[in-house]
Amino acid sequence: MRRLTRLKEDVDVWHGLSRRVQESLDLLELAQEDDDQAMAAEIAAEAEKLASELNRLEFRLQFSGPHDGKDAILAIYAGAGGTESQDWAEMLLRMYLRWAEQRGYETELLETMRSDEAGIKSATISVAGRYAYGYLRSERGVHRLVRLSPFDSAHRRHTSFALVEVMPDVEEAIKIEIKPEDLKTDIYRAAGAGGQHVQKNATAVRITHIPTGIVASCQNERSQVQNRLMAMKVLQARLFALEEAKREEERAKLKGEHVSAGWGNQIRSYVLHPYHMVKDLRTGYETGNSDAVLDGDLDPFMNAYLQSTISEAQQ
């Protein structure tokens, strides 16, 4: 029913656009007969709006994957480098939260592991909105930052790494069997900044899938039951992503190509010293406005990635 509703919405939008085009053509014919300049100006303005809407809808056609229209679960992990990478991971978290806010998507912080000094060791958020996963899947991989360190007394240049993991929120339709005996559940107190506890009671939940070693945790909800539900939701998504990666690897082998399903593939560099530049290493797209990118202006990078994947599929 969800899929049917979304398809109906898409069809209604295209029918509505077609109707507006026909109405504009009819009005244009009347304006030409009556030599009505005011009406012609209005039609010209409407034509610009229609062209903009058409471009937006045509771009949406790039989301052809089976899960592109779904919500997303995004996780960030600090790489090697201690405080430097942990601060970089928090900068990435802020960047994605700002991007989602600008798009009108709803976000929820599911789990955060803060570091002792600054930044975060890891964080997991859900991003709810149409095509959230379709856009965010372009962000999966290793992100590299080059800057003058604010934590180095000598103010030397440092390179930091963080991993971004993106999974579709597959809701109840997921067909991944999770046996109760394959799960190990730990209950603990939710720790906050400075070692303080968010709550006195043990409400945080960590679930380990024993056969795969995959771990999912949630500590930001008020009750243990809510945290358990959210942790299971993240675990389902991670198991699903694991199965998808296996299938993708098999497809790549059949095509005679070797595609690593590991995490060590750097996708983008953010350079803040000695110059400002953000460059995507997969598409070659780059910009000198690093501040805007870190404030959530990611659409040009996502669009370039989506265009490149379509070009590869057509070859």
188/149 same-domain check: no
pLDDT at 189: 76
* Ordered alpha helix ranges (H), 83-160: 83-103, 132-136
pLDDT at 260: 39
> For residues 96 and 130, what is the distance between their CA atoms, to the nearest angstrom?
16
169/198 same-domain check: no
pLDDT at 254: 46
Q: Is residue 242 part of a domain?
A: yes
Q: Which domain holds residue 125?
A: 72-174+265-314
Q: Is residue 66 part of a domain?
A: no
For β-strands 141-148 and 266-271, DSSP reports them as parallel
158/269 same-domain check: yes
229/277 same-domain check: no
112/155 same-domain check: yes
212/291 same-domain check: no
Q: Where are the beta strands (DSSP E) in 210-256?
A: 214-218
Q: Is residue 234 part of a domain?
A: yes
CATH of the domain at 108: 3.30.70.1660
291/231 same-domain check: no
Query: Mean pLDDT for each 10-residue chunk of the chain (315 residues)?
Result: 81 91 91 87 91 80 79 91 90 97 94 88 92 92 90 81 88 68 86 52 86 88 84 87 77 47 71 94 95 96 86 56
95/44 same-domain check: no
156/275 same-domain check: yes
Total tally of structural domains belonging to the chain: 3
**314 HSE (CA, 13 A, CB side):** 8
Instruction: Say how far residue 196 (Cα) sits from the centre of its chain.
Output: 30
pLDDT at 115: 86
6: how many CB neighbours lie within 10 A of its CB?
13
User: Whole-model pTM?
Assistant: 0.69
> For residues 115 and 162, what is the distance between their CA atoms, to the nearest angstrom?
14
> For residues 293 and 270, what is the distance between their CA atoms, to the nearest angstrom?
9
CATH of the domain at 231: 3.30.160.20
**110 HSE (CA, 13 A, CB side):** 26
Q: Is residue 76 part of a domain?
A: yes
Q: Looking at residue 264, what DSSP letter applies?
A: -
pLDDT at 253: 58
159/208 same-domain check: no
